[in-house]
Amino acid sequence: MKQILIVEDDRNLSRGLCLALKDPELQIVPCFDLQSAREQLACGVTDVVLLDINLPDGSGLELLHEIKSADNSIGVILLTANDTEMDVVRGLEYGADDYITKPFSLAILRARVKAQMRRGVVNVSKPLVIDNYCFDFEHMMFSKEGQLVELSKTEQKLLRLLVENRGMTLNRTLLLDRIWTDGADYVDENALSVTVKRLRDKLEASHYIKTVYGMGYVWVVKEDE
C-alpha cells in the first residue's frame, strides 16, 4: 500500500486533503509540524509528501532538503500560499518535484499526486513502452515502430520528464530547472521551445507532446493507457 504524508498545520485544510485523496489503496498520514513529519518519515514507508512551507516549528524547505538528501525517490509536492516566481524557483532548487499554490483545485491536486505515484513506480531498468514507442533510458535507446531515433542528452532529459509525468502539465520554470541543471537563470527560454520542437519532430509525436499555452508542456495520456 502506498503512503502519502500530508504536512499541513491548517487542520481544516488537512482534513479536506485527506478526504480528497481518500482511496482504499492509499494510506494517508496527516502531520501538523516538522517534528511529527520527521518522526513519520523515519519509519521509511512514505511515497509522496504534500508539504506546506510555512509551518509552526520551521520552514518546510528544510524538511524538503532533508528528504531529498536521504531518499530522492520520495516525491515531494510543495503546497503553499507563496506564489511568486522566485518562490517557485526556490522550491524547485531545493528539490521539489512539483509546486501547487493556494488556493487550488482538488481535481488538479489529485492528478498531480497520481502523477507522482506513477513516477515512483517507473522502473528505469526496463524500457517504457507507450503505444508504438519504446523508451529505454538506461541504455539511451529510443524507437518508434521499431525504428531507432537518436536523441541528444537534452532531448532525453525532456522526454523522461514528460513521460514519467504523462498527463500532467509541466511548467516552463520546472523544465528549465530540471533540464539545464547548471543554472536555468543563464538559459535563453527559447532553448526550451527549440528542444520541445526537435523532440516532437524526431519522434513524430505532435499528438502526444502538447503545448499548454501560458503554462508549459504535457505528454498526453490516451484513454486506454
Which residue did the predictor score with more confidence, 177 or 219? 219
What CATH number has the domain spanning 128-219?
1.10.10.10
The three-state secondary structure class of 200 is helix
Question: What average pLDDT does the chain have?
Answer: 85
Tell me the average pLDDT across 199-208: 96
| pLDDT of 202 over the 60 cut | yes
| pLDDT of 78 over the 70 cut | yes
pLDDT of residue 199: 97
| pLDDT of 159 over the 60 cut | yes
Beta carbons within 8 Å of 218's beta carbon, 6+ residues apart: 162, 166, 167, 168, 169, 170, 209, 210, 212
pLDDT band at 43 (very low <50, low <70, confident <90, very high): confident
Run of H or E including 98:
strand 98-101
Q: Domain residues of the chain, as ranges? A: 2-120, 128-219
- Span 98-145, pLDDT tens digits: 888 888 888 888 888 888 887 655 444 578 889 999 999 888 899 999
pLDDT band at 184 (very low <50, low <70, confident <90, very high): very low
Q: Which CATH superfamily is domain 2-120 in?
A: Response regulator (3.40.50.2300)
